[in-house]
Amino acid sequence: MPKIALPVTRYYGSKRKLIERIWREIEAQRLEFDSVLDVFGGTGIFSYFAKVKGKSVIYNDIFAFNYNIGKKLIQQTTNELTIEEALGLLNRRPGIEYRDTIAANFEGIYFTQEENEQIDIFIQNANMLENENQKASAYYILFQSCIIKRPYNLFHRNNLNMRVNYNGGGFGNKTTWEHTFETLFTRFIAELDKFTFDNGRENIAVNFSALNCPSRADLLYVDPPYFSTSRSHTTYHAKYHFLEGLANYTEIENHINFEKLNREISINKSSEFENPRAFLLQLEQLINTHQNSIIVVSYRNNGIPSIQDISELIQQCRPNNRVVTLDLGMYGYALNKSNSTNNEYLIIATNDPN
Ligand SMILES: C[S@@+](CC[C@H](N)C(=O)[O-])C[C@H]1O[C@@H](n2cnc3c(N)ncnc32)[C@H](O)[C@@H]1O
């Protein structure tokens, strides 16, 4: 089978490198399913792959910025925003009074002041677009560009200095960080033209916390936040709060935490699935509310809880079904020494009897 082309994303925990393997393992179980719910959707890679495979797909994520990515890649079937229109959104329109929320509150934190001003104008122009397809494209190219221009592709530190003072050697990708928004928009509009498509099915994106998501499907894919035993935990909100702010632009000023050096924006901050002590209980609740679905969970070893704890829980929730636990190796790469210590796993609760 030829490799399926997938959008390139720089998102923490993306399953892009593993998705072919994950899908192969699901197919190997010979399960019958026509619809999938990707309840911790992130970049939408699992949803996108399922869409390519002709399934009816529901993408969900707790964050509005991710929901927009799901809307663009999964729900919508085309890109209607041209590169000329996208670049035009960087210009002030006569007669409009623009806010300067980012420039006024985030100087020296994530982006240069010139870039902050561009973000302010672009997002307000995008919000004025009446065509929902164009608006989702505009958000998509802005979010992807903002991620790519950040050291570590994250927003949990106010480390603009690392980018501007970088002088070669060792760590860093200065060239990528310094690409202008104009250059990056051109790249991402081309990606949208290439990757948006219609699989002839009804596919939707929704925006709930996992435990509040009312959608149901034949197969539930669960790829939750991961707690490593060796590192302190940084929540997805802490990693990407700035993008969640941009997705709720007019709300930003009411939610900036000025006590934090990185001026965290508190919109949609939640502890659901972000606290290792509550995790197993919440997972149990999630699995029990999807009684009629095949369950597929992605997790890693050396985490809290352990793979064994998760497997046991799933077996308890589905005492009459076959549950399989698969070691996928390290990110799908060839076996190596460290492989035994840090691997990706897949736990599948099938709908066949034991
Ligand atoms: C490990 S990532 C999923 C990555 C995704 N499978 C991919 O390939 O890009 C976990 C995702 O869960 C989302 N998330 C965190 N807490 C959530 C919650 N309580 N409900 C729904 N989504 C949540 C995060 O925004 C993040 O995108």
pLDDT in tens, 91-144: 999 999 999 999 999 999 999 999 999 999 999 999 999 999 999 999 999 999
Which atom of ligand 1 is found nearest the CA of 221?
A: 6
Which of the 8 DSSP states describes residue 257? -
**Residue 346 Cα to ligand 1 middle (Å):** 16
Provide the CATH number for the domain around residue 288.
Answer: 3.40.50.150
Give the domain extent around 115. 84-196+236-270
101 and 63 within one domain:
no
Domain count, the chain: 2
Q: Which amino acid is at 281?
A: L
Q: Is 350 in the pocket of ligand 1 (CB under 6 A)?
A: no
Is 244 domain-assigned?
yes
Tell whether 255 and 106 lie within a shared domain: yes
167 in the same domain as 73 = no
Ligand 1 mean position to 92 CA, how many Å? 35
Kindly write down the DSSP assignment for every residue of 45-113, as one continuous string. HHHHHHHHTT-EEEEE-SSHHHHHHHIIIII-------HHHHHHTTSPPTT-----HHHHH-TTTSS-H
pLDDT confidence of residue 112: 97
Kindly state whether residues 174 and 255 are assigned to the same domain. Answer: yes
pLDDT in tens, 113-128: 999 999 999 999 999 9
71 and 155 inside one domain: no
Distance from the alpha carbon of residue 331 to the mean position of ligand 1, in angstroms: 18
Looking at the fold, whether 147 and 258 belong to one and the same domain comes out as yes
Query: Would residue 275 count as lying in a domain?
Result: no
The answer, yes or no, to whether any atom of ligand 1 lies below 6 A from the CB of 7, is no
Answer yes or no: is 349 within a domain. yes
Q: How many A from CA of 97 to the centre of ligand 1?
A: 36
Q: Within this chain, do residues 103 and 176 fall inside the same structural domain, yes or no?
A: yes
> Does residue 323 share a domain with residue 262?
no
Q: Which residues contact 211 (CB under 8 A, 6 or more apart)?
A: 272, 282, 285, 286, 289
- The pLDDT confidence band at residue 333, using thresholds 50, 70 and 90, is very low
Q: Which residue has the higher pLDDT, 81 or 330?
A: 81
Instruction: Decide if 41 is inside a domain.
Output: yes
As a whole number of angstroms, the distance between CA 299 and CA 327 comes to 10
Q: Are residues 257 and 322 in the same domain?
A: no
One domain, residues 63 and 124: no
Residue from 21, 58, 62, 65 to probe ligand 1 pocket by mutation (most atoms less than 8 Å from CB): 62
Render pLDDT for 215-224 as a digit per residue (tens, 0 to 9): 999 999 999 9
Ligand 1 contact via 210 beta carbon (within 6 Å): yes
What's the rounded mean pLDDT across residues 175-192? 95
pTM over 0.75: yes
Q: State the closest ligand 1 atom to the C-alpha of 272, by its place in the atom list counted from 1.
A: 19
Is 345 part of any domain?
yes
Contact (Cβ atoms closer than 8 angstroms) between residue 210 and residue 97: no
> How far apart are the CA of 38 and the centre of ligand 1, in A?
9
Would 153 be classed as within a structural domain?
Answer: yes
Query: pLDDT tens digits, residue range 30-81?
Result: 999 999 999 999 999 999 999 999 999 999 999 999 999 999 999 999 999 9
Tell how far the Cα of 62 is from the centroid of ligand 1, in angstroms.
Answer: 7
The finding on whether 209 has its CB within 6 A of some atom of ligand 1 is yes
Cβ–ligand 1 contact at 325 (below 6 Å) = no
Same-domain check for residues 40 and 108? no
For ligand 1, whether the C-beta of 15 sits within 6 Å is yes
pLDDT at 288 exceeding the cut of 60? yes
Query: Is any atom of ligand 1 closer than 6 Å to the C-beta of 223?
Result: yes
Q: What are the structure tokens assigned to 168, written together?
A: 């070669």
Residues 126 and 73 placed together within one structural domain of the fold: no
